Structure 1
Amino acid sequence: MQVKYIRVSTEEQNTGRQEVNSKSFSKIYIDRISGSIPFAERKEAKRLIADIEAGLVTEIHLSSIDRMGRSILNILEVLEYFNQKNINLFVENIGMFSMIDNKPNPSFKMIVSVLGNVGEMERLNMLERQRQGIELAKLKGTYKGRLFGTKITEDEILAKYKSVVRELKRGESLRRAAKIGGCSLGTTQKIKAILDKKNETV
């Protein structure tokens, strides 16, 4: 069957743009998770892999290659897995299939490698610009981040890490919830303690 994989980074992001042609597919998998999390560790991607292993999937569509992930190494690993399983991957924004006549398309892999590297570089540059901006703001005394000695409230913590809260409520482990939410194990433990305390007071 033909399926589509969709990914957005946060719960708040809209998937509408990626779902415009969703009626064309037998099944849609939607992950709301950071692209830095390896493909095989995402909840919906795991379901997709299970369906591939069951022999149910023949073709996968993505709106763009960065929906698969932000790491070029992980993207190429997943692409190789699809090739081994004889799964044809179609990336909509470049209009190309990963396989032609059941053989890997060398042009596809080359273009994906370039796009993956560019995406990875853009992300690193963005993080570096963000870091530099914070440092400059601190020097100017205009930094609006949390001041030293101030505390974020428990409700603010829960609001900030909605995906972690959701996964913990679903019964996921601390480590798994931390990976999905893109935060540290320590932060996840703090969130778990807050949730436990709130449950005790209900």
Structure 2
Amino acid sequence: MTKVKYIRVSTTEQNTGRQETNSKEFSKVYIDKVSGSVKFSERKEASKLISDIESGIVTEIHTSSIDRIGRSIIDILTMIEFFNEKSVKVFVENIGMYSLIDGKPNPSFKMIVSVLGNVAEMERNNMLERQKQGIELAKAKGTYKGRLYGTRMSDDEVLTKYKVVVRELKNGESLRRASKIGGCSLGTAQKVQSILKQKEVV
């Protein structure tokens, strides 16, 4: 049986030390430094983990909390279902519970994960709402300097703003290296890469 650990933090600046406290217990540790809004299957290290699962290498995954797997309840449950189909046990450390018992889905695990996932999603939405209210207040006071809430850059604007990242990716640099050189997060570099791929298809 191969037991591994999956770790995720939102930015390259965040320390993974707290999540790595028991790393010596595992055959391999996968560490993603990317926003939780990025789907599990689209993350660099998570993709490697999925590949190892498909190859039959991994039989048990540990993670510190369920929101390390996904930000939305749909993403979380989709991945749990995938792990179940592959007979891979997931152990969530902060609730001390396995997703499978004797090879069968643990109904208590799914119920608790659903509750925690919904709470995390609700907290995220509340945070965004507070952010929106703060921006509206700053705008009313004439002190807001950032991008208006609800607006987003077009793909071309993103490529223009992060032209250094574009250059590095086109030169064959890795996402991590391109984000470091371009002075942005790994998630932003992934977005730039996604836009470039879309434009190649078109």
Normalised TM-score (structure 1):
0.76
The verdict on how the C-alpha distance between 1:19 and 1:181 changes in structure 2, with shifts beyond 3 A counting, is same
Match of 2:87 in 1: 86
Give the drift of 1:91. 0.2
Q: Superposition pairs for residues 64-83 of structure 1, below 5 Å?
A: 64-83=65-84
Give the drift of 1:33. 0.7
Identity %: 69
Q: Secondary structure at the match of 1:11?
A: coil
The one-letter amino acid of 2:36's match is G
* Separation in structure 2 between the aligned mates of residue 51 and residue 84 of structure 1, nearest angstrom: 14
The one-letter amino acid of 2:5's match is K
Q: Superposition pairs for residues 35-54 of structure 1, below 5 Å?
A: 35-54=36-55
The one-letter amino acid of 1:8's match is V
Q: Superposition pairs for residues 108-123 of structure 1, below 5 Å?
A: 108-123=109-124
Give the drift of 1:71. 1.0
Match of 1:59 in 2: 60
Match of 1:150 in 2: none
Match of 2:155 in 1: none
Normalised TM-score (structure 2):
0.76
Match of 1:197 in 2: none
Number of matched residues? 172
Question: Is the Cα contact below 8 Å between 1:31 and 1:43 reproduced in 2?
Answer: yes
* Separation in structure 2 between the aligned mates of residue 66 and residue 112 of structure 1, nearest angstrom: 9
Give the drift of 1:141. 2.4
Give the drift of 1:143. 2.6
Matched, 1:34 2:43: no
Match of 2:179 in 1: none
Q: Secondary structure at the match of 1:5?
A: strand
Give the drift of 1:138. 1.4
Give the RMSD, CA atoms, in angstroms.
3.1
Match of 1:180 in 2: 187
Match of 1:170 in 2: 173
Match of 2:16 in 1: 15
Give the drift of 1:137. 1.2
Q: Secondary structure at the match of 2:29?
A: strand
* Separation in structure 1 between the aligned mates of residue 16 and residue 185 of structure 2, nearest angstrom: 23
Cα-to-partner distance string for 1:170-197 (whole Å, 9 max, x where unaligned) = 256xxxx9993278659x77xxxxxxxx
Question: Is the Cα contact below 8 Å between 1:178 and 1:184 reproduced in 2?
Answer: no
* Separation in structure 1 between the aligned mates of residue 144 and residue 80 of structure 2, nearest angstrom: 42
Question: Is the Cα contact below 8 Å between 2:34 and 2:186 reproduced in 1?
Answer: no
